[in-house]
Every structure is written in structure tokens, then in C-alpha cells.
Amino acid sequence: MSSITQYLNLYRDNRADVHSHSVELLNESRDDAYAFLQDKSLPDKGEEGFEKTSIEDMFSPDFGVNICRLNIPVDVAASFKCDVPNISTLLGVVVNDMFVPTATLLKNCPEGVTMMSLSRAAKEQPEFVGRYLGKISPKDNVNVALNTLLLQDGVFIHIGRGVKLEKPLQIVNIFNSPAPMMSVRRVVIVAEEGSSANILFCDHTQTRDIDYLSSEVFEVSLAENSHISICGIEESSNHTRRYQQVFVRQESGSNLYINSSSLQNGTTRNDFTIDIVGEHCETYLTGIAIADGEGTVDNNSNVNHLAPHSHSNQLFKYLVDGKAQGAFEGGIYVAQTAPFTEGYQSNSNLLASTTARMHTKPQLLIYNDEVKCSHGASTGQLDENALFYMQQRGIPKDVARTLLMQAFMSEVIDTIPVEGVKDRMRHLVEKRLSGDFMLCGECGSCK
């Protein structure tokens, strides 16, 4: 029996409750998703694109789904402080499966910018949200359909035409629940023509010994000449599983930067599908993974060049320790309709223990002669010569190791376009790497 069956049964048995606690726009796709999923199963380990991570296994435990939308009281301000030094942000918080606006957000959201609960937006402006919801993610994707079937809430971000948002938007995702839980979130980001915004997502788990599963689908559309940066920093727990699928559509002249960094986690799988449908687009997709214990970080990218004269760059770096496992499958696809494409990809990895594992699979599919494309992947250990050089100067070996690991990650950190976020990432990576790598002491999740 595929683990999908339990979710189908859950929906079948509780359809009325699911619908009555949600809104029309979200409900109207559920039955189609239900029908589509009947004879389907989730991808299992070894299937094409899922060599190292089984979504089937990830979803197989019986996590609770908060169908009746009970409000689990969490005093966000008291228990959690996500400080971004040197910048102030417009902050929204998603607790488990519910968007909680902060007072400052409601007060300070400038003209032309919407950042709010997806389900509330769907209720209040169904026609407006309906223009974007479900339009970019493919309906025939099993994981997307499952997300559609049980979708609870998430974030709706709309940047109006020509609006240049100075302040970064920040979404903090928090898991906090006394019992195991699955949350089904969707994030819809719309950048209208000529707009620009920087968006930061921070994932945290507060109750660290509870099992969580997060199903997230991002739908991001960049209209002509828009600029969007999205940075995601995951610092959850080793009991947290996350399957995040990011779908992007880029129109002509748009500029996208994505950084996805897993600094602490249990099992994480991220899919990035970026369709470049317009000319002269810029796409930067980057990521950091620091995995230890029995953790897994698996990134899968498909950057699809469908129109001429666009430029994409992918850079992912992993540091894998303990018995952890890293995986990267990166794809660049250049269609026949996309001459003069430049597409680059690089993945380098450090293995810090003999039991750590890394799987990397760069792929180029090019159907056109007028392109510049490259890919490179390397996996190795810390440079022994550099370590000895530093020790000779009196730097203790563990400090030298930390400095080298930080230096390894700095190539990725340096690409982050928002100074405050860059500083924060550098600080978090430093904090993560200093001290005992296996026992960070910060969270207690490894105890």
C-alpha cells in the first residue's frame, strides 16, 4: 500500500471538515486532485530523480493533519526571536499550518505590496488569487496534487507593477506542536512588471523531539523586467522532514536569485523547476547544505531554458559529516527554441567523516548549437596542506578546520544579494561550524 492511500482515505473520510474549514478557491481543486491520485504513488528511492531520497518513506508515517484548523497557541514573540542584524524586515509568521501576521506587517506593508495568509487572500479576493494559484505548478505532479488535496494555508505575496520594495519581506515558518504533525503549505509569489523585492524564509522547529512533516509548494511568477530574490534558511531539527517544491516562471528581462540553505535539519528534499520563457533573463540558483548525524539534504534542480539569450548559474555546496547523506541532481535543459543561452552549474562537496555520503549527478540536455554551458562537480576532504599551514602558524587544528569550512561556504554566501541576509548567513554558518561539529550545543536536538 502506498503511503498516499492514508492521505486519500483521510480526505475521503473527512471531506466535509476539510472543506468547511477552508475556503472555496482552495476547495475547488481538491476533488480533481483526489481523482488524479487514485492510482498514483509517491516517488520511491531509486526512481529517476529520486536516487537517494524516498518521498514514499518520508510521507509514510501517520502524521496528524490539523483538518479542523485548531489554533495551537504559540506565543511567537516570547518563544522566538529571529534577528536579522542590520536590516529590518516586514515580518510574517507561519505557525505550523497557519499564517499569523505581525502588527508591524499590517501597519507597514507599503502601497502595492501584499503579503498575507494565502487562505485569507483566497477568501477575500478569490478572483485575484485565482489568477495565480495553481497556474505554475503542474497538475500532473503527484506531490503537487497531494499538496493541493490537503492544502491548508501559506503565504500570498504580490508585488505590484513597478513597485521597488526596499525592505526585505521575511516569513518565519515555525513548527510547534505537542504531537506529531504534518503541515501542508503553499507559497504564491507574484512579481508584476518592473517590480523588485527580496524575500527571506526562515524555517525553525521549536519542539525538537516531535516528528514533523512539511509539504510545501512554491509558485513564483516573475513578469517582465522584475527582480526577485528568495533566500531560505532552514534550521529545524533532526525530527523534521521537509519536501519543498519550487516552481518558477520567468518572463523576459526578469532577474531571479534563489538561495536555499539547510543548516540544520532531519530529512530535506528540495525541487527547483525554473522555466525561463522570456528572453534576456538572469537566473541564479544557489544553496548550502550542512548535514550531520543521520540527516539528509537532497536538492534537485531543473533550469529550463525555453527562450533565447538568457543566462543561468547554479552553485551548490555541501558539507556532510557523521552518517549524513547529501544529494544533488542538477539539470540544465536548453530547448531548440533557446539559442544563445548561457547555463552554468557547479556543485562541490566536503566529506568530513568516513561514513558521510554524497551523491551528485549533473545533467545537461542541450538541443541547440548556439549555447555556452558547463557543469562541474567535486567531492573531497579538507585540504591537508592548508590545515598544516594554519597549524604551523599556531592556529589549533579544530579552529583551522572551522575556518576552512567557513571559507568553503563563503563562495556561496558571497552571492547573496541582500547585505543583511548575507551577514546573517555568514554568522549562522559560523555558529553552526564552530564548536563541536557533531554536537552544536545550540539546539540540543543531537542529544
Tell me which residues touch other proteins (CB under 8 A): 383-386, 388-397, 399, 403-404, 406-408, 410-411
The distance of closest approach from Cβ of residue 229 to other proteins in the complex, given in angstroms and rounded to an integer, is: 22
The distance of closest approach from Cβ of residue 403 to other proteins in the complex, given in angstroms and rounded to an integer, is: 5
The distance of closest approach from Cβ of residue 356 to other proteins in the complex, given in angstroms and rounded to an integer, is: 21
The distance of closest approach from Cβ of residue 433 to other proteins in the complex, given in angstroms and rounded to an integer, is: 12
Smaller CB separation from other proteins, 394 or 441: 394
The distance of closest approach from Cβ of residue 390 to other proteins in the complex, given in angstroms and rounded to an integer, is: 7
Smaller CB separation from other proteins, 41 or 406: 406
Smaller CB separation from other proteins, 125 or 406: 406
Q: CA-to-CA distance for 3 and 312, rounded, in angstroms? A: 36
Smaller CB separation from other proteins, 327 or 412: 412
Smaller CB separation from other proteins, 356 or 429: 429
The distance of closest approach from Cβ of residue 430 to other proteins in the complex, given in angstroms and rounded to an integer, is: 11
The distance of closest approach from Cβ of residue 385 to other proteins in the complex, given in angstroms and rounded to an integer, is: 5
Smaller CB separation from other proteins, 51 or 411: 411
Smaller CB separation from other proteins, 38 or 392: 392
